[in-house]
A = this chain, B = another copy of it.
């Protein structure tokens, strides 16, 4: 991985502040779910109403236990840093612990934090800020195998599905890396590129940088962004697709959604339309690209009705179809490995 990819050190502690609701702590809870092995504990302030289920630590205790990063895992209303959080962040930075955040504001603008980091030799890592030295996409074929998650819309399970595919591949002893393209994914992975924040000219190059040459049998599982038939974001999706040059992709879909979320005059396209466009576009840099399955979000469907939706998607595509939270992604990985066995 080159220096153009955002990265931070592990192990880490999660900072939850005094946040009252789990809704505002999604990043911290996701980190515990997906990277518990690298999580030493949580730092909370008096009045905190969320518990991530890991050991409570002070900043001094976190340092003593070897924490190398403190990740701000909750969002305050307004997106900034409340004044009562700042002393803890300064103390961590002065203790040499990197501060990591995915806020709209930059950490360097938080009062006194940059000075504290200088004194402590800590870094301030804004995972929403893309690297500045990205190349233009070359289209050159890279070694190794790649699978990308795509969607019929935004926010329909692309990150979760990619993380689950990576975990299942590793569980089977297959070499795999999760490649993060959004802020929460980057925090979970500890590295990645916030692809939608990259200057347009460099999106394909950013995607190439994110999944570099690798061993012939190694899988990169790449977190998708946007949707290829989305009137606002398709350019992000297309650049990520062509730069990633995936061999395979998994299509994520929420079967209850009728219109693109936030774009009520655009219906959600069919599974077939998205597969067809993804293959047609991805073929430019990888002629063998194919869909290996469908990941359905059935969380809002009654248990008795789930099977109907799963069977319908399987029938429409002729591919394995699962809800990763219910069945897991085993059938998708079976298909992936069957299609691309040496």
Contacts and interface: CB of A to CB of B under 8 A. Distances in A.
Interface residues of A, number: 33
**Copies held by the complex:** 2
Nearest to A263: B139
Closest A-B pairs by Cβ, 9 of them: A139-B231, A235-B239, A137-B232, A196-B201, A235-B235, A136-B232, A203-B235, A200-B200, A200-B236
Contacts of A117: none
A265 interface: yes
Nearest to A276: B280
A203 B284 CA distance: 22
A310 interface: no
A231 B285 CA distance: 7
A231 B263 contact: no
Nearest to A231: B139
Contact of A139 (B140, B204, B266, B280): B266
Contacts of A280: 277, 280
Contacts of A201: 196-197, 233, 236
Interface in A194-219: 195-201, 203-205
A229 B196 contact: no
A266 to B, nearest CB: 6
Nearest to A139: B231
B265 A200 contact: no
A231 B200 contact: no
A138 B196 CA distance: 16
